[in-house]
Amino acid sequence: MDSCLHSLPSFSQVLKEIKSKIRRTKSYTPNRSLPDELCYRISLSDIKAATNNFHETTIIAKGDTGFIYGGKINDEFYAIKRLMPTTDSHLPLMELRHGAEFLCQLRHPNILSLIGFCDEKKEMIHVYQHANNGSLYDHLHAENYDPIPWERRLEICIGVARALHYLHTGAKCVLIHRDVSSKNILLDDQWTSKLCNFGFCKRGPLSISRGTVSVEVEPDVNYTFACLAPEVAMTCRVSDKCDVFSFGVVLFEVVCRRRVFDAELEMDQQLLYPWARKCIENGTVYSIIDPYLKGKIARECLKKFLEIAYSCVHYEVNKRPTMGEVELTLELALELQKQAESEFESINAQGEFMCEEASFSCTI
């Protein structure tokens, strides 16, 4: 393992916590791509027992590279991601290796914890903590989900911003997620956001404090294209500012409750972020926010939120903020919302502080 990751928190304490729950398979000794001291190897027999031999009734989600099963291992319920071969046959192995290498050392409350892995008999499996509230995407777009209150949406976004800030600055080397999207943001039973899916994560050079870093990537990787920074397609290079751009798209998705790409809309509205930028510039952005939120967002809070979302998706890389700046701005937006609600309660006047379309404007 590269020494640049050694400054991250040790995994030894986590191992102690789960040794009583998951049994190490000592008899199986293949050519190991991952050191046991970093990642806990789980036997295929235990995983098959937990998923009833990968029965379809135990599937809890469908990922881009395989199914995710739910199952108990020693009385604890886990999410078990079984990576499947694709036309790019090296991709699942790359995801297993990179995901395990990164996640076993990344310990952050807003990053989904990897519990262990299995690469027995050509299987490629990750075992994660279970985030039982599903994905942010589901709550924004799937049927039979109640709308998420605005303050909770802000808290979810702040959690993801903290996770990305940690990736960009929490080690000697920058870690670039490369696939930030609402589908890769999970929610636990306390509504804590958990950034997941690190299969495409890229390790950059030394600390970002020396400036924006850029690293070359594979030209044929299938990202969430509607969240992809425009420079990636042109240069096949990614930087920490690519994560910032993708997160900005998610911010617009959260406040508008619109898919980042919708082929059923008119051509100029199909891709969310350029349409949202245009509405902000034209002063019509209030008309495209989630109808559920209208009348429930404090004017200054919404203005601050839209300002940071707009700056995140700036076409010029160097004009995008850092994730640390994004995190602080979102925290300020939340404080502005709480302050306005407190004032509203004290004067008990309906709509005193809330945005109305006729009076709201956001100048960038």
C-alpha to C-alpha distance for 300 and 34, rounded to whole angstroms: 49
β-sheet bridge partners, residue 76: 73
250: left (phi over 0), alpha (psi -120 to 50) or beta: alpha
Asked whether residue 94 falls in the same domain as residue 178, the answer is no
Of 75, 110, 129, which one is at a domain's C-terminal end?
A: 129
* DSSP H helical ranges for 38-90: 44-50
Q: Is residue 302 part of a domain?
A: yes
* Residue 322, C-beta contacts closer than 8 angstroms, at least 6 positions apart: 165, 168, 208, 240, 244
Residue-range definition of the domain harbouring residue 57 = 12-129
Q: Which residue numbers in the chain have pLDDT < 50?
A: 1-37, 87, 89, 208-210, 219-220, 222, 352
Integer distance in angstroms from the first to the last C-alpha of the chain?
44
* Contact predicate 312/161, CB 8 Å: no
Beta strands of the chain (E only): which ranges?
59-63, 66-73, 76-83, 114-118, 125-129, 173-176, 185-187, 193-195, 202-206, 214-216, 237-239
State pTM to two decimals.
0.81
Asked whether residue 123 falls in the same domain as residue 145, the answer is no
Asked whether residue 151 falls in the same domain as residue 80, the answer is no
CATH number for the domain that contains residue 97: 3.30.200.20
Using one digit for the tens of pLDDT, what is the confidence trace for 207-266?
544 455 555 555 445 455 778 888 887 887 888 999 999 999 999 999 999 999 999 999
Q: Is residue 7 part of a domain?
A: no
What is the structure's pLDDT at 109?
Answer: 93
Q: Is residue 253 part of a domain?
A: yes
Of 88, 105, 129, which one is at a domain's C-terminal end?
A: 129
Asked whether residue 209 falls in the same domain as residue 289, the answer is yes
220 is catalytic: no
C-alpha to C-alpha distance for 317 and 229, rounded to whole angstroms: 9
What is the structure's pLDDT at 12?
Answer: 43
Q: Is residue 109 part of a domain?
A: yes
Among residues 46, 119, 179, 240, the one annotated as catalytic is: 179
CATH number for the domain that contains residue 257: 1.10.510.10
Asked whether residue 102 falls in the same domain as residue 166, the answer is no
